[in-house]
Structure 1
């Protein structure tokens, strides 16, 4: 195995890798001799050895001329790992600080009041659907309202209508995890569903949580009611709406979904949701 290549993979330069590998073979060596054996230019050798010393890979004798020795690999590589770990922590802290500064900066900007419409292509697999739900919940600051139509119930209950790319038995536990995660973070979630297929998974996950404080928070933030209706939309906070778009070539499928940023329309859908919510049958987690 090419040790010098592996050292370069760990972040050493070509010259640094060559110098360390040569010192491992030759033992205590002077800079001039090391330059001759390794082929590293004399003008570069002292800088290379200084870098290796700073990394904890090489030590030197204070003699005339100065002699260099490679630190044992098992010790030297641990030194390299520790140095990398410390640098990474420092970089992450700096990155985190910049993220915080940007959040504060962007929070001072006014969110656009104008209407904006975006279109997403069809979500066909478990991973796509879960990712879409996760993004929707991550976008929510305070409250999200979901209502699903009878078509969802038909798809869940009829194997002949199920999409070939997703299995409800796989999808529902993943979706449940995302809603529980959001509820634990303090997001208020209301869901109107045509059947109790989601509630059963939710109860199972809920009862597996040992922390009573977390269970209390989930119970306060996540409400599900059962109502058979033809409505299908999502309202996020006071200005964002998601609406599914049917596929004209496949009545049981979706062409995609539309995202609208429109306070006026979101308010209309919110009022409709409140009407539907009042008609829904309550469910309990315990």
Structure 2
């Protein structure tokens, strides 16, 4: 159950504010009795609430009287306090990330073979997005078919966002698809391409018939390979991420002539 404490007030502060809503203009002594807040604490609590701009005081009266700000206004002010705290916290985290990015050094490129795999809709997508985000130099994406277990509208947008982020940081992106896959792309993908990606000379899309598999080449040394479900052809069973420069070079040798012969795509 939601309470004023969820928005940052203490138990005593919440009691006093609620009491003021019911009592109207009143004194600290009366508030202490109505809210069960000890008299020794009541002025500190009132000062704190006033600092949140949740109450107004009549300083000219003796004894001093207090009245609550209307609930809609009070809640909006508490929410704005939380928004400001969130912005400040996010800013601190961004500074930490920037500092750590400069301090942490990536290990030497892996020359020996290393692989990992993901099984399941969520896990396979997360692995693909992770590797696209890790690209420093180039991404080659080959898409022969769409997977029926994924929401292609949602997945298409998410992948396109990652590709856009990649070209923003200077990565060359080449996408090769079959015409059938192009026809199933959501309109939002085409809109994003026309609005942003088409401006980048480092981003290219081409189409060709006869593609057999779906995979990605990352920085020329890593292959992210989609494995079909043997029991339900057309569905993804798993994604294998293989870091092997020699194997990646062989894949690129097969890809290069198909890319050269493919037709540039205009959305």
Residue 216 and residue 253 in structure 1: after superposition, are their counterparts in 2 closer, same or farther (change >3 A)?
Answer: closer
Taking the TM superposition and a 5 Å limit, the aligned residue runs for 1:54-133 are 54-62=51-59, 65-106=63-104, 108-113=105-110, 114-123=112-121
Deviates more, 1:129-138 or 1:73-82: 129-138
**Secondary structure of residue in 2 paired with 1:222:** strand
Q: How many residues align?
A: 261
Instruction: Map 1:1-286 to 2 at 5 A.
Output: 6-62=3-59, 65-106=63-104, 108-113=105-110, 114-123=112-121, 134-148=129-143, 152=145, 163=148, 165=149, 171=152, 173-178=153-158, 180-185=160-165, 186=167, 187-193=171-177, 195-200=178-183, 208=191, 214=196, 216-217=198-199, 220-249=202-231, 253-278=235-260, 280-285=261-266
Distance 1:48 1:203 in 2: 56
Looking at structure 1, the residues matched to 251 and 239 of structure 2 have their Cα atoms a distance apart, in angstroms, of: 16
**Structure 1 unmatched runs, 5+:** 157-161
Over 3 Å counting, the alpha-carbon distance change for 1:51 and 1:141 in structure 2 is same
1:125-155 CA distance string (max 9 Å, x none): xx77766654443333332112345xx4xxx
Instruction: Quote the offset at 1:71 in angstroms.
Output: 2.7
Shift in Å, 1:253: 4.7
Q: Is the 8 A contact 2:156 2:189 kept in 1?
A: no
Deviation at 1:226, TM superposition (A): 0.7
User: Which segment drifts farther, 127-136 or 82-91?
Assistant: 127-136
Q: How far does the alpha carbon of each residue in 1:31-63 deviate from its partner, in whole angstroms, 9 at most, with x for none? A: 333222211123432332121011101233446
Q: What TM-score do the two structures reach when normalised by structure 2?
A: 0.76
Alpha-carbon distance change, 78 to 33 in structure 1, aligned in 2, over 3 angstroms: same
Q: Could you tell me whether the CA contact under 8 Å between 2:143 and 2:181 is conserved in 1?
A: no
The answer (yes or no) to whether the contact 1:144–1:235 under 8 Å persists in 2 is yes
State the Cα distance separating 1:197 from its structure 2 match.
1.6
Q: 1:80-103, CA deviations, whole angstroms, 9 ceiling, x for partnerless residues?
A: 333333323222222322232233
Distance 1:135 1:116 in 2: 16
RMSD, matched Cα: 3.6
Distance 1:205 1:38 in 2: 55
Please tell me whether the aligned partners of residues 120 and 237 of structure 2 are also in contact (alpha carbons under 8 angstroms). Answer: yes
C-alpha spacing 1:101/1:208, structure 2 compared with 1 (3 Å): same
